[in-house]
Structure 1
Amino acid sequence: MATLDDVRRLALALPRTDEKVSWGSACWVVSGKGFVWERPLRRADEAALTAAGIPLPEGDVLGVRVADEGVKQALVTDDPDVYFTTPHFDGYPAVLVRLERIALDELRELVEDAWVQRAPKTVARAWLAEQGR
């Protein structure tokens, strides 16, 4: 089970990353661009999930930027116990994550991939090279 403290630790370990507060919730940005954020469900989210027969998360929810809608759909389809979305995110490359159900190694990969998507290309390339990727 992952926590927001795990997200914080993973995100802040990445170059040029800062933690900010947006709409009262924590978010992490690289060079001013958000890549992961705490995402409490709103009433409209809860209503949409309930109407679709999707169980509401029991703990914290994380929003994560992904490469594109295809990646988002693949995550939601392949592991709906961990990943989900709401109509609010239709047409937007982001997925919601039930932190209580994601393994730490999977969370690390997700946070790092989101960071690579949003970081300046030269910074991302240098970091990837350091990691041997």
Structure 2
Amino acid sequence: MTLEEALNFAASLPGGERSKHYGQPAAKVHGHAEVSTGHEPDSSFVLLIDRGDVEMLMATEPDTYWQTPHYAGYSAVLVRYEAADDDRVRTMIGRAADQARAKKPPRRR
């Protein structure tokens, strides 16, 4: 799955929209980023999902879901473009969207 495909899928979910996150292309749900470009744009995109899910994804599919030290300890996991199972990636994007919808709207500055 390419970044563009991930962004389009995420933006198509209820409450989703194309936006920016730290100045980079992203998809947000109710103002919360769920998919973004990240720091490894040549190989992966970032999925912002609960830390428990991050740990589970890296343990079960380390060839697809991974982190650099930059993301360690945060609710973010890198997703390789050549993921073996695009359906699971879409499921995880959907889960991230569900988690974003459950959060309070971000404060506007």
Report the equivalent of 1:129: none
1:64 to 34, 47, 54: 47
Query: C-alpha distance in 1, partners of 2:80/2:69?
Result: 17
More helix, by proportion: 1
Query: C-alpha distance in 1, partners of 2:84/2:23?
Result: 24
Mapped contact 2:15–2:29 kept (Cα < 8 A): yes
TM-score, normalised to structure 1's length? 0.67
Matches within 5 A, 1:1-133: 2-41=1-40, 59-68=42-51, 70-120=52-102
Q: Secondary structure at the match of 1:100?
A: coil
The unaligned stretches of length 5 or more in structure 2 are 104-109
The unaligned stretches of length 5 or more in structure 1 are 42-56, 122-133
**Residues 1-55 of structure 1: CA deviation (Å, up to 9, x unaligned):** x1123212311211221111334421111111111111232xxxxxxxxxxxxxx
Shift of 1:102: 4.0
Letter in structure 2 aligned against 1:62: F
Q: Secondary structure at the match of 2:14?
A: coil
Shift of 1:71: 2.1
TM-score, normalised to structure 2's length? 0.80
Mapped contact 1:4–1:60 kept (Cα < 8 A): no
Aligned residues: 103
Q: Secondary structure at the match of 1:66?
A: coil
Which is greater in Rg? 1
- % identical equivalent positions: 30
Mapped contact 2:11–2:28 kept (Cα < 8 A): no
Gap change, CA 1:102 and 1:6, over 3 Å in 2: farther
